[in-house]
Amino acid sequence: MQGLYGVIRNYAWGSQTDIAGLQGRETPADLPEAEEWLGAHHSAPSTLHDGRPLDDAIASAPADMLGRRVYERFGPRLPFLLKLLAAGKPLSLQAHPNLRQAQSGHQRELRIGIDSAYRNYVDDNHKPELLVALTEFRALCGFRDPLAAAEGIEALAVPELEGLVRTLRDPAAGLRRAVTDLLGLDRDECRAVIDAAAKAASELDGPSGLAAGDAADLVTLARDYPDDPGVLVSLLLNHITLQPGEGVYMPAGNLHAYLKGFGVEIMAASDNVLRGGLTNKRVDVPELLRVLDFEAIDEPRAAVEDSGPVRSWPVPIDDFALRRVELTGAPQTLAIDGPRICLSTGGSVTVADDEGETAFSPGRAAFSTGTSGALTAWGEGELFIASA
């Protein structure tokens, strides 16, 4: 096991305090720090303590670094990417492709430069993802039932939205038509509708079809993106608040946007993003509509399994698994095979494998190869372990 040093991504929506504060650096940071990437994706590979980029180290000895099971299943690459995600402002409204869509899209775009702003598919992998909250975390996650969405929108009593309400209540049209119509609005028309909707949301008093938190989200998004169709699309999504230790799993094709909070995120090793709004980055509505899954999600929160000090959030794919270990002094043996990334999020923790041990302070990470045996952890604190 050896230390692993991630790459900070300074996106505009990031926090200047969350990641820096966890790692004991001076706050506020000079720039917004949105994510720290811990993995081997070619866009921003982490660095091992011996100075080697993790992707190069895996390429040089894939069977040893990954272990036989993971190497045979996924080839010579780390199948997951772990992140610290710190949303100081809303992220873009987005979805990710499934494996077939990613492979065909990447093949179509091979003629486009890898760093081009016009490229959607920077790799050929799918990107399902799981986010676990470290602080209270507000998010838009998957489509809500269209009839419930219609009720909430109707509560705003905005004449310009009456057509949207009718569309949502029409079983022959439903979510697909509603989303397509909203994303097709021009900016001037959109600004007028958003202004009216936000004004109505701010004046809601007492119970209505639109929950108080949902109304507050609408007002916030309207302030930041006054002419963006994504603000209106947000009315069609589940609005949730995660408490620390709760997670949300977003399969490929599910529309979502993280609004505010700090968490640990794990995903299949991909950076393929199709955006629909709430961003200054490129928006590709036709491609987004092509990959979207328009099935409503009743409960986007991930199921939880607790086993003693270990909490996990089972997902229906084998690219990744995430465990949180609460350590209270006694050593814990963790029989997790394959390559592992350990990340401390609090306290003082030590982790050992067959190749040695690493002491962690909050925000620090280490990589354990797929051939270095079981992990043993001890100390007082919180540890996340990512694996395949």
DSSP assignment, residue 36?
A: E
- What are the residue ranges of CATH 2.60.120.10 in the chain? 2-140+242-286, 305-387
Contacts of 4 (CB under 8 A, 6+ apart): 38, 46, 47, 48, 49, 54, 341, 365, 366, 367
Q: Give 305-387's CATH code, choosing from 2.60.120.10, 2.40.170.20, 3.40.47.10, 2.60.40.420.
A: 2.60.120.10
Report residue 221's pLDDT band, with 50, 70 and 90 as the boundaries: very high
Task: Map residue 3 onto helix, strand or coil.
Answer: strand
pLDDT more than 90, % of the chain: 89
CA dist 292 → 117, 251, 284 (Å): 21, 11, 12
> Of 143, 209, 203, whose CA–CA distance to 176 is shortest?
143
Supply the pLDDT for residue 114: 66
User: What pLDDT was estimated at residue 260?
Assistant: 97
Residue 46 identity (one-letter amino acid): S
Q: Residue 177, Cβ neighbours under 10 Å: how many?
A: 16
Q: Mean pLDDT score of the chain, rounded to an integer?
A: 94
3-state secondary structure 80-136: EEEEEEEECCCCCEEECCCHHHHHHHHHHCCCCCCCCCCCCCCCCCCCCEEEEECCC
Encode pLDDT of 112-149 as tens digits. Answer: 766 666 788 889 999 999 999 999 999 999 999 999 99
What is the torsion angle, in degrees rounded to the nearest 10, for the CA atoms of residue 310, residue 313, residue 314 and residue 316? -160
Tokens read off for 305: 């399994």
| Max CA separation in the chain (angstroms) | 67
Per residue in 149-164, pLDDT tens?
A: 999 999 999 999 999 9
Q: What gap in Å lies between CA 48 and CA 65, rounded to an integer?
A: 12
CA atoms within 13 A on the CB side of 223: 10
Contacts of 386 (CB under 8 A, 6+ apart): 38, 80, 82, 266, 320, 321, 322, 340, 341, 342, 343
CA distances from 48 to 6, 21, 58, 341, 382 (A): 9, 23, 11, 11, 22
Measured distance CA(98)–CA(100) in Å, rounded: 6
Q: What is the mean pLDDT of residues 246-268?
A: 97
Cβ atoms within 10 Å, residue 324: 22
- Tell whether domain 2-140+242-286 is in CATH 3.40.50.300: no
Please tell me the pTM assigned to this model: 0.94
Per-residue DSSP letter, 161: G
Percent of the chain with pLDDT over 70: 97
Rounded CA-CA distance 311/360 in Å is: 19
Residue 381, SS3?
A: strand
Here the tokens at position 137 are: 């975390």
For residues 386 and 266, the answer to whether their CB atoms sit within 8 Å is yes
Annotated binding site for Zn(2+): 94, 96, 129, 256
Separation CA 306–CA 247 (nearest Å) = 13
With beta carbons less than 8 A apart as the criterion, state whether 239 and 129 touch.
no
Q: What is the pLDDT of residues 33-89, one digit of tens each?
A: 999 999 999 999 999 999 999 999 999 999 999 999 999 999 999 999 999 999 999
Would strands 237-242 and 305-307 be described as parallel, antiparallel, or unpaired?
unpaired
Predicted confidence band of residue 322 (pLDDT cuts 50, 70, 90): very high
Residues acting as catalytic residues: 275
pLDDT above 70 for 233: yes
